[in-house]
């Protein structure tokens, strides 16, 4: 056994970590970082050219962390510059603008770009991802609600925060939790600890809710072909009802999804002889 004094010294060892920001152009990546590091907000849009680099020191529990922040440009034009910087990241801020649906829907392609650049040997499970639903101060133009954003994030084991670089809402809490998850991961031998909030629902439930929200009609919602029989509709309904029943499913949005499925079944059965 090691002497307690050695352990205490090790516990205080400083850490160097690398984090990157990802997300479409103009969603607020640079402003989120500026709000945290410089405590100010710049209303004028100054597009990041390729990449911005900065260093900050933070304290997490008994450790001093030196954070190297690589703030990526979201514009597709800068892909060639960005792709150099994915490797060795320990934390990723995935940012979207709650007033722009396409910026939310682009999160998957940002993950794809990252995976591609990191290569097949990279272990995504050792990276902490935090999703920032940004610009929540502009509540009137909001089109992606909290449930939808949270579901996307938590079903992947990512942290989720509502933020505003303009008002400062959620920024400190988000960074505190982000850095502390990175330290947890380092202390856990490089494996991301399972986020508490992901407990209680499965990826299948989360994906199904997302599919239901974006389905184009009642057939699509139940996952049956147009013209399906009563039996086929009922069979599909029963499967979804078991998966999404509010008594069994605690995923955000499950109640609405369940109601939508009940309505879809009723609509379809009305028109099937
Ligand atoms: P790229 O560098 O091009 O990838 O963009 P970015 O994601 O870094 O966006 P940036 O931080 O430069 O912000 C884009 C615009 O959105 C600027 O005009 C900001 O002032 C504005 N903005 C950023 N965050 C917020 C926010 O939380 N609320 C409001 N109202 N505006 C914001
Ligand atoms: Mg920027």
Residues by chain with Cβ below 5 Å of ion ligand 2 = 29-30, 48
CA distances from 58 to 37, 108, 213, 246 (A): 10, 30, 40, 41
CA distances from 151 to 28, 146, 246 (A): 21, 8, 15
pTM: 0.77
Maximum C-alpha span of the chain = 79
Label residue 95 left, alpha or beta by phi (over 0 means left) and psi (-120 to 50 means alpha): beta
Which ligand 1 atom is the nearest neighbour of the CA of 27? 7
> Is this prediction's ipTM beyond 0.90?
yes
Ligand nearest to the CA of 93: 1
pLDDT for 38 = 94
pLDDT for 194 = 62
pLDDT for 5 = 47
Residues of the chain with confidence (pLDDT) below 50: 1-2, 4-9
Ligand nearest to the CA of 42: 1
Query: Whose alpha carbon is nearest atom 28 of ligand 1?
Result: 135
Q: Is the CB of 189 under 6 A from ligand 1?
A: no
- Tens digits of residue pLDDT in 69-120: 999 999 999 999 999 899 999 999 999 999 999 999 999 999 999 999 988 7
pLDDT for 12 = 58
pLDDT for 183 = 93
């Amino acid at each position: 056994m090691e002497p307690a004094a050695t352990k205490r010294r090790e516990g205080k060892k400083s850490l160097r970590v690398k984090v990157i920001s990802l997300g479409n152009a103009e969603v607020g990546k640079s402003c989120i970082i500026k709000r945290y590091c410089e405590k100010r907000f710049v209303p004028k849009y100054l597009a990041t050219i390729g990449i911005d680099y900065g260093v900050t020191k933070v304290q997490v529990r008994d450790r001093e962390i030196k954070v190297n922040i690589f703030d990526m440009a979201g514009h597709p034009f800068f892909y060639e510059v960005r792709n150099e910087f994915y490797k060795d990241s320990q934390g990723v801020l995935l940012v979207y603008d709650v007033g722009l649906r396409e910026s939310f829907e682009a999160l998957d392609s940002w993950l794809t770009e990252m995976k591609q650049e990191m290569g097949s040997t990279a272990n995504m499970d050792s990276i902490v991802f935090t999703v920032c639903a940004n610009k929540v101060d502009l509540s009137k133009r909001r089109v992606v609600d909290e449930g939808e954003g949270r579901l996307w994030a938590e079903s992947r084991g990512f942290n989720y925060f509502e933020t505003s670089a303009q008002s400062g809402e959620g920024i400190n809490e988000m960074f505190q939790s982000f850095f502390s998850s990175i330290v947890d991961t380092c202390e856990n031998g490089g494996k991301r600890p399972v986020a508490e909030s992901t407990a209680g629902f499965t990826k299948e439930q989360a994906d199904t809710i997302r599919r239901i929200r974006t389905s184009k009609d009642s057939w699509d919602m139940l996952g049956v072909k147009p013209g399906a029989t009563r039996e086929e509709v009922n069979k599909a309904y029963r499967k979804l009802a078991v998966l999404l029943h509010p008594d069994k499913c605690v995923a955000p949005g499950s109640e609405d999804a369940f109601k939508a499925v009940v309505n879809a079944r009723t609509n379809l059965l009305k028109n099937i002889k």
